[in-house]
Amino acid sequence: MARRPAVFIDRDGTLTEEVGYVNHPNRLRLLPRSAAAVRRLNEAGIAAVVATNQAGIARGYFSEDLMHAVHERLVESLKDAGAHLDGLYVCPHHPTEGAPPFRADCDCRKPKPGLLLRAARDLDLDLGDSTMVGDKASDLLVAPAVGARAVLVLTGYGRGEWEYRRENFSVAPDHVAADLLDAVDWVIGGMRTRVGGDMRTRVEGVWGEPKGPPIR
């Protein structure tokens, strides 16, 4: 069976509201239409994978246990809306702050590609047919490192990044989307164009059905 494409989703400002460091599960709230976006990926057989930097752990702002509690709330919120993630990958490191083992010059802190490479191995993903979606220029940088496309959303920091800082972007987005659902629609529309025919039929025939979510 051929490898599946994925949409890699930044968490804060892309999937959930940007509220600064999420130091309590109740502070995590899905953005409007985010659950619908993930559900649409589920229905299309495209892996929905969160890839997020959480340097608050290295900085001592919150613990690993709290981060897991926050992500349990995220998974439950999506489940209540009939959606699920295929994977959730986190970098807890910072190169200069905190103490080892979290103070580390790692390979997983975006824009380095470690999180995406790990997800591709775990989930048998086709990175060249995948897309990274985020609200910051730094999210876009990881895409060319793995041969993926890049989409900037205008939620979170995205509108300010696009309207006031885009001349400084090292990587131009392949698409600018109003939000995650708009980004997913663009991804699926492009795949229909490339493979031809009905997207659902092609996914069932080539990429298979989505599996349960390994949470990393």
Query: What are the two backbone dihedrals, phi and then psi, of residue 132, each rounded to the nearest 5 degrees?
Result: -100, 130
Query: Of 12, 129, 135, 179, which is the active-site residue?
Result: 12
* Whether 10 is catalytic: yes
| Positions marked catalytic | 10, 12
